Amino acid sequence: MGDRANNASASFVAAMEDVLETYQKPRNPDRPLVCLDETSKQLIVETRTPIPAKPGRAARHDYEYERNGVANLFMMFAPLEGDCLEIGGAGAEAVVWRLISDRG
């Protein structure tokens, strides 16, 4: 591994230690710990009807599909509060932005 890779690894470890340190802080109801995660999933439509399962044989799905857009999924989680909010579908980005902006 070169110096550049070692420096990047050291920076990553330092950043992760900061994150882990944040999770160790005691609960503060005035400043709750809120985590946000995001992913996107490709939406597909099967172009051929699947063959149903039979005894001793799993259902068969053809590998061919048609692209049907992308969905952005967000999850906001307050681990110390025990709350979780999942947001997806059209306009999800705007909803998350409003939630983040409205924190006062």
Q: How many angstroms separate the most distant Cα atoms in the chain?
A: 58
pTM equals 0.56
The span from the CA of 71 to the CA of 92, in Å, is 9
More confident: 93 or 56: 56
Beta bridge partners of 65: 46
Q: What is the pLDDT of residues 22-69, one digit of tens each?
A: 888 898 888 888 888 889 999 999 899 999 999 999 999 888 999 999
